[in-house]
């Protein structure tokens, strides 16, 4: 059947391909090598910031051999990193900044990395918006990170000087990039009596990797959200107006569709525009909350959408019928919220905090990612089972079609075809949503555990986001109550012996011209 046969679907779904347009990569990593500075005035009251370059640069060391030659202690060395590098500026369009830490540690027979070694880091962060003003302190913290290093060859005297292979360590995350320049001063204080920073091997250098959102991708993303917000708002107002014109009260499916439109509007509203002019560090957390609300609503909608189309289900049009299916979704969303608050909530006051920093936190986070992925897959399988039940029941009731008049039979055959197509689109959307959820969790965590990287381009992000909007748009457009009436003028033969199955079929399809016949009681059903 060509595009003419289901014009409504083709008009709405064709723009999907436009959403996969080329756009800049979502994020950009930049690597920095920390400069070793000498702190000769630790006891002065005013906080001193150590710059790695420029007119006020610090007293630099080329290597730790120079420090030993000059009898400079480890407690007098500050690792300084300026973000970004010289002649560059950070921008609010970057939206966020994630910083990863990695140590260069050389192997020495008399100074090896102990089992379960923990690095104690005294770090301070400052910012400024021009090259002449003083640095303003933004945050400081005393953090611990557990080393996970391996040596590629045998630990012999011949291999002294070779470096360990150490995992990347989570270091810092900022929810906004409101300033042009950032400065990190890192100390590794040593106290042999308290066993602080002892048994770490011979640290040679510190590397930092900063990751931020591309400004070009941010502009495309903002423009897309602005356009889609207006589109969903218009169709949502039109949809509810069609419902308000009915003489009956809205049914459960209509209410859930409207709630889905509200959640889509909530995630669409481009409040990120304000982050360009304001230092809103909570934007990452707010974005996670919005996405979690939409996920909950979308998953619940699919359950109710399929449930309301099952013919053999005795009770319908009541939300309480679906508490066993919707309850776990709400509970899972609440657990996601608590998990997110445990990291990004704390990062609002301490950007150096990370749940991945401890063994317990890492195991908890990994368990969360694995369990969330398994639950998402099980949900999709359950949704497939519900769709299969709907298709089986519809096929069983199609035996009543040959007894109808030609006009009415063609009408219902068209409804069945379009309804099945819509159910398949629902499954495709659910599959892509599950894939996106799993990949986004893995992609967010791979920098923390430092082994596997999942490359996700901008087309995937914009495509999934556009798919959600087009799906919600299509559902509201196709399920708006229709002013059309079919079959009233047909011959009375259509309401004969097959009227009961006819009404059951109509009730099940809840046809795409609108669910005006969902609870229509005529024929045998009315008499009962």
Confidence of residue 17 (pLDDT cuts 50, 70, 90): very low
Q: What is the pLDDT of residue 478?
A: 83
Q: Which of 336, 437, 351 is nearest to 170 (CA)?
A: 351
Confidence of residue 81 (pLDDT cuts 50, 70, 90): very high
d(CA 394, CA 398): 6
Q: What is the pLDDT of residue 248?
A: 83
* Percent residues over pLDDT 70 in the chain: 77
Mean pLDDT of 108-137: 90
Q: What is the pLDDT of residue 214?
A: 87
d(CA 112, CA 282): 41
Residue pLDDT, tens place only, 356-383: 777 788 788 888 878 888 888 888 898 8
What is the residue whose two structure tokens read 């068209």? 414
**DSSP letter string over 421-481?**
HHHHHHHHHHHHHHHHHHHHHHHHHHHHH-S------HHHHHHHHHHHHHHHHHHHHHSSP
Q: In a 10 Å sphere around its CB, with 0-12 CB exposed, 13-18 middle and 19+ buried, how is residue 252 labelled? A: middle
3-class DSSP assignment, residue 326:
helix
What is the residue whose two structure tokens read 């880091």? 121
Mean pLDDT of 381-391: 86
**Position with higher pLDDT, 208 vs 72:** 208
Mean model confidence pLDDT for the chain: 78
Q: What is the pLDDT of residue 141?
A: 92
Is pLDDT at 233 greater than 90 in this prediction?
A: yes
Looking at the chain, the number of H-run helices and the number of E-run strands are 11, 12
DSSP 249: P
Q: What is the pLDDT of residue 450?
A: 42
The topology under which CATH files domain 7-25+216-527 is: Rhopdopsin 7-helix transmembrane proteins (1.20.1070)
Confidence of residue 400 (pLDDT cuts 50, 70, 90): low
Structural contact between residues 426 and 334, judged by C-beta atoms closer than 8 angstroms: no
Q: What is the pLDDT of residue 256?
A: 92
Q: What is the pLDDT of residue 377?
A: 86
Residue pLDDT, tens place only, 468-521: 999 999 888 888 876 555 444 443 333 333 444 444 444 444 434 444 343 332
**Position with higher pLDDT, 340 vs 486:** 340
The residues spanned by each domain of the chain are: 7-25+216-527, 28-213
Mean pLDDT of 122-138: 91
Sort strands 169-174 and 181-187 into parallel, antiparallel or unpaired: unpaired
Is pLDDT at 144 greater than 50 in this prediction?
A: yes
**Position with higher pLDDT, 106 vs 523:** 106
Q: Mapped to the 3 state alphabet, what secondary structure does 204-227 carry?
A: EEEEEEEEEECHHHHHHHHHHHHH
Return phi, psi of residue 378, to 5°.
-65, -40
Residue pLDDT, tens place only, 408-461: 667 667 767 777 788 888 888 888 888 887 777 665 544 444 444 444 566 777
Q: What is the pLDDT of residue 35?
A: 92
Q: What is the pLDDT of residue 263?
A: 94
Structural contact between residues 16 and 474, judged by C-beta atoms closer than 8 angstroms: no
Is pLDDT at 12 greater than 50 in this prediction?
A: no
Residue pLDDT, tens place only, 177-200: 999 999 999 999 988 888 888 888
Between 82-91, 158-167, 333-342, 488-497, the lowest mean confidence (pLDDT) is in 488-497
Confidence of residue 236 (pLDDT cuts 50, 70, 90): very high
Is pLDDT at 6 greater than 70 in this prediction?
A: no
Mean pLDDT of 395-399: 67
Between 48-57, 80-89, 451-460, 499-508, the lowest mean confidence (pLDDT) is in 499-508
DSSP 275: G
d(CA 461, CA 443): 12
Is pLDDT at 327 greater than 80 in this prediction?
A: yes
Q: What is the pLDDT of residue 315?
A: 60
Confidence of residue 405 (pLDDT cuts 50, 70, 90): low
């Amino acid at each position: 059947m060509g595009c003419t046969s289901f014009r409504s679907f083709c008009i709405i779904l064709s723009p999907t391909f436009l959403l996969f347009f080329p756009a800049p990569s979502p994020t950009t990593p930049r690597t920095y090598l920390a400069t070793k500075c000498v702190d000769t005035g630790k006891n002065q009251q005013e906080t001193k910031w150590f710059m790695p370059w420029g007119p006020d640069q610090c007293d630099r060391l080329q290597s730790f051999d120079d420090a030993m030659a000059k009898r400079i202690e480890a407690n007098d060395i500050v690792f300084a990193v300026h973000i970004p590098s010289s002649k560059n500026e950070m921008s609010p369009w970057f939206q966020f900044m994630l910083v990863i830490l990695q140590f260069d540690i050389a192997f020495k027979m008399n100074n090896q990395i102990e089992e379960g070694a923990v690095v104690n880091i005294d770090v301070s962060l400052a910012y400024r918006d021009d090259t002449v003003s003083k640095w303003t302190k933004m945050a400081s913290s005393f953090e611990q990170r557990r080393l996970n290093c391996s040596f590629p060859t045998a630990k012999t005297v011949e291999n002294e000087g070779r470096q360990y292979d150490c995992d990347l360590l989570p270091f810092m995350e900022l929810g906004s990039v409101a300033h042009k320049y950032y400065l990190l001063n890192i100390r590794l204080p040593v106290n042999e009596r308290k066993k602080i920073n002892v048994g770490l091997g011979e640290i040679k250098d510190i590397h930092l990797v900063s990751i931020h959102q591309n400004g070009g991708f941010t502009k495309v993303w903002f423009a897309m959200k602005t356009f889609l917000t207006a589109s969903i708002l218009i169709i949502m107002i039109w949809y509810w107006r069609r419902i308000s014109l009915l003489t009956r009260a809205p049914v459960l499916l209509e209410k859930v569709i409207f709630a889905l439109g509200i959640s889509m509007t909530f995630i669409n509203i481009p409040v990120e525009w304000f982050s360009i002019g304001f230092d809103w560090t909570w934007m990452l957390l707010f974005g996670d909350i919005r996405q979690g609300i939409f996920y909950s609503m979308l998953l619940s909608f699919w359950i109710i959408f399929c449930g309301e189309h099952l013919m053999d289900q005795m009770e319908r049009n009541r939300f309480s019928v679906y508490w066993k299916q919707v309850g776990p979704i709400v509970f899972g969303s609440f657990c996601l919220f608590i998990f997110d608050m445990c990291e990004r909530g704390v990062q609002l006051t301490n950007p150096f905090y990370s749940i991945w920093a401890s063994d317990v936190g890492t195991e908890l986070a990994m368990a969360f990612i694995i369990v969330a992925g398994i639950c998402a897959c099980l949900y999709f399988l359950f949704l497939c089972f519900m769709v299969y039940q709907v298709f089986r029941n519809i096929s069983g009731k199609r035996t009543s079609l040959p007894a109808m008049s030609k006009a009415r039979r063609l009408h219902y055959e068209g409804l069945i075809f379009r309804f099945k197509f819509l159910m398949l689109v629902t499954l495709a959307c659910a599959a892509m949503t599950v894939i996106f959820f799993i990949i986004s969790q893995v992609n967010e965590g791979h920098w923390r555990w430092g082994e596997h990287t999942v490359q996700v381009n901008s087309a995937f992000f914009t495509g999934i986001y556009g798919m959600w909007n087009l799906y919600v748009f299509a559902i509201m457009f196709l399920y708006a109550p229709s002013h059309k009436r079919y079959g009233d003028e047909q011959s009375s033969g259509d309401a004969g012996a097959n009227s009961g199955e006819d009404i059951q079929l109509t009730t099940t399809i809840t046809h795409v011209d609108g669910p005006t016949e969902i609870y229509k009681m005529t024929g045998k059903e009315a008499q009962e």
